[in-house]
Every structure is written in structure tokens, then in C-alpha cells.
Amino acid sequence: MIKTQRAEIVAQRLAVLYQSPPIPLDHSDAFTFLVAVVLSAQCTDKKVNEITPALFRVGGTPASMAGLTVQQILAIIRPLGLAPQKAKALHGLANQILARFGGDVPQTFESLESLAGVGHKTASVVMSQMFGHHAFPVDTHIHRLAQRWGLSSGKNVSQTESDLKRLFSPDTWRDLHLQIIYYGREHCTARGCDGTICPLCRELYPRRTKPVLHIKP
């Protein structure tokens, strides 16, 4: 089976399983979504959603977030991984949005990636999910599944992103990003499937018997 055939199967199966996949991070606007995405690094969405209501009550806008001290932000988000760095980033990006973008979350990759704590993946998620831009955010989970499914050589997340963009139509990228994440959580987990167990892995590689070795991005 060639790569394009595998990609077609992946798209078809995931579209059936996850029609109109919802955004898993709770938010009310572009700013709260940006904050949630920043907080989600090395954390589960469930844990982030447990923390953000208290944060958004006092820092749900760029102005109110900028009005908090780093220590006040840290006190709220402390249960999350990398909390000290994230507290500094949230305080910094809120001030940057106020000073440079009039209080509105910017809507270009360049501007988003210039904000504290915002890398290419975070900017891609915001551009795709909030602003409807054709972007295919690739995190370590999507990187892992793309390698298992033979859609990318898996050397790094940047290469995986390029490979997936070549295989799938831009109008599918938004939903497919979420569909892969949901499937990975529910069926093709890091510990629950080694490339030979879940239904999609078995369909794509019916004769595969050895586990897929994963290359760290």
C-alpha cells in the first residue's frame, strides 16, 4: 500500500469516527484560547480545563492578565507542568498584545510567534481553530501517529508537518488535526498500541508483527 492510499484510508476512517470534532480546550474567545493552548504544553487538555476557569475569572482578557503579577498567575496554574515558565509567558504575551496589537490577538503567524511562549505549533493551532487559516499543527502525538501509519519518516515535527500537508487537502487540515488527536487518545495510545494493535494500524499494516520504533522529535 502506497503512502497516498494510507492517507486516504486515515482520512476516511477518522471522518466517520469524529464528525465535526470539537476543540478540546475550554475557551470563550481568541485570547482565552491562546492562553489555554500555551498552558497545554506537556499537560493534558483535561488538566488545563480544570485550571483555566479560576485563571479566566481574574485574567480572562489581555488587560486583566497583564494586571496580574507573575506570582499571582503562577499561584493559579502551579498544578500544571512548566508552570513558572508558563506564568512568565502569559504575563509577557498579555502585555505584548496590549502594547503592540491594541488588545487583540494578532492573526498572522509572524505576529503570533513573536509573542512570549508562542511557538510555531501554538500559532498554528490558534490560526487554524480560531481564525480559519489553513494550518496543520503537529505535536508529538500527531508526529508519533504519522510515523506509525507510514505517512511521514518521522525525523522531526517540522518534516512531519510538511509531509502531512502534501498528503491531505488544506480544507481538511483543521478537522484532521483534531481527529488524529482524538484517535490517538482513544485507540492508538503510546502505551496501548505499538503500531500493531489498534484497528487503524491493523488495517494499514495487516502483516506488521513488530512494534514501530518511535524517534523522538
Active-site residue numbers?
Answer: 121, 139
- 36 phi/psi in degrees, rounded to 5: -60, -40
Estimate the crossing angle of helix 30-39 against helix 83-101, to 10 degrees: 150
4, 89 Cβ separation under 8 angstroms: no
**Integer Cα distance of 123 and 161 in angstroms:** 14
Q: Alpha-carbon torsion 131, 123, 129, 157, what sign?
A: positive
DSSP state at residue 168:
S
C-alpha cell at 129: 481553530
DSSP state at residue 171:
G
**Integer Cα distance of 59 and 124 in angstroms:** 23
**Integer Cα distance of 43 and 212 in angstroms:** 24
**Integer Cα distance of 129 and 25 in angstroms:** 11
